[in-house]
Amino acid sequence: MIRTRRLFAFAAFAVAFVCVCPSVAGANGELRGDYFVLPANHPDVGHGIDETIVRGLVEKRLGPDGLPVVTPFGRTYAGASGPISDVNASGELMWYATSGKHGTRHVKSVVETLPFNHDAFYPPGQSGDGGGAGYLTAHWSGSFTLPRAQSIGFNLGSDDDSWVFVDGTLVVDNGGVKPLADAPFTVARLAAGTHRFDVFYADRHGVGAKLHLSTGFTVAPPRAPQVARIAPAVPTAAKLRAAIAATGHVAVYGIHFAFDSADITSDSSAVLAEVAKVLRDDHVLRLRIEGHTDSAGDAAYNRDLSLRRADAVKAYLERHFGIAGGRLTTQGFGPDRPVATNATSEGRFKNRRVELVRL
C-alpha cells in the first residue's frame, strides 16, 4: 500500500544500526523463491488497513512443513485486516501452498539475487492487485555460513506482511496490513556454522505492494525446494482400485481436516467421492480406514486424533454416499507406522495420510 507517512519498525534501530556481520565478498547473495497468488475472494485478503505492524500473528517456530504457524491471536485477530483463517491441520499458513482450500496458485519458482527492491510487487504479468489479478505471496529460502559466533544484520521493509526466520525461529515479526517501512534488524550471537534463512511475504490489500530486503552476509539458495507445496492430483477410483488389488492397501492424500480436529474440510470432497466410487463399484469390498500422523506432538494424543479422523472418514462415506457401515472399520495409528523419515518436511507430509486396507 502506498502512503505518504513512513512507519519505522523497531524505532530504536532507526537512528543507528551497529552490527558485527561476517566480512564476505559479494554480500547479499541469492535466495530461492516460490511465488503464489491468493484469489480476490480469499478470506484473508481485501479487508481493512492496520496502518502499523501487527506482531504475534504467527508462532515463534516454523511448523512441520516449514511454514509459519498462525497463533490463536492471529486466528481471532479483531483488527482492521481481520483474522487469518487459511491454515492446515497443523495450523500452518496456507498462503504459501496450493494444498489449502481457498484456491491459492503457485505461479513461479526462481533464484533471485539480493538486494530485493520489489516495488509494484504484483502477480506476474499484472499491473495491480486485487480483482482478477489476486494478491501475491512469496517464500524465499537459503542458507549462510558464519566462520565464528557472531551477530548478523539486514534491512527489511514490506507492504504488507513479512516474517524472517533463522533456523526455523522467528527473528523479525513484521506482520499486518501497513505501509512500507524500511528498518534495520539484528540477530545476536549466532553460533559458527551454517544456518537456514527463510523470508515470507504477503500482499493482502489492493493499494500497492512492496518488499525491500538486503543482508550484510552472503546467502546461497538451496539446491532444490525443500517443501512439497504443490497439491497432488486427486487420485482416481481406477488408481485406488488398482493399488488395492495389487498390494491390499493404498495411501490416500488429499483428505484434509480442520486444525487440531477431526472435522473434514470441504476441499476433501473430490477425493472422498473417488473412494466412494471404489466401494460402489465392488459391492463385496470391505475396507479398514486407517489414520496416520507424523511424529510432531504427543504420540498418545496423535493416536486418538488419527482414530477420530478415520471415524470421520467412515461417517462421511456413510452419510454422503450411502456406503453401508458394516463394510468399513477404523483404526488410528498416530505416528507408529511411518512410511518416510520424519526428519524432513517431505517425509512428514507422506506420513500424514489416510490408508485404505482391504479386509
Q: Does this chain's domain 22-219 share its CATH topology with 237-358?
A: no
User: Other CB atoms closer than 10 Å to residue 330's CB: what's the count?
Assistant: 19
Q: For the stretch 138-174, what's the b/e string if a residue is b when 16 or more beta carbons lie within 10 angstroms of its beta carbon?
A: bbbbbbbebeeebbbbbbbbbbbbbbbbbbeebbbbb
Per-residue pLDDT of the chain (359 residues; tens, 9 = 90+): 333 333 333 332 332 233 333 333 335 799 999 899 999 999 999 999 999 999 999 999 998 888 999 999 999 999 999 999 999 878 999 999 887 778 898 888 888 999 999 999 999 888 888 878 899 999 999 999 999 999 999 999 999 999 999 999 999 999 999 999 888 888 888 999 999 999 999 999 988 899 999 998 899 987 655 444 555 667 899 999 999 999 999 999 889 887 678 888 877 888 999 999 999 999 999 999 999 998 877 899 999 999 999 999 999 999 999 999 999 999 999 999 999 888 776 778 788 899 999 99
Class (C level, CATH) for 22-219: mainly beta
For the chain, the domains span 22-219, 237-358
| This prediction's pTM | 0.66
**C-alpha–C-alpha distance, residues 14 and 19, integer Å:** 13
Reading the block at residue 273, the C-alpha cell is 467421492
**C-alpha–C-alpha distance, residues 278 and 252, integer Å:** 13
Assigned architecture for domain 237-358: 2-Layer Sandwich (3.30)
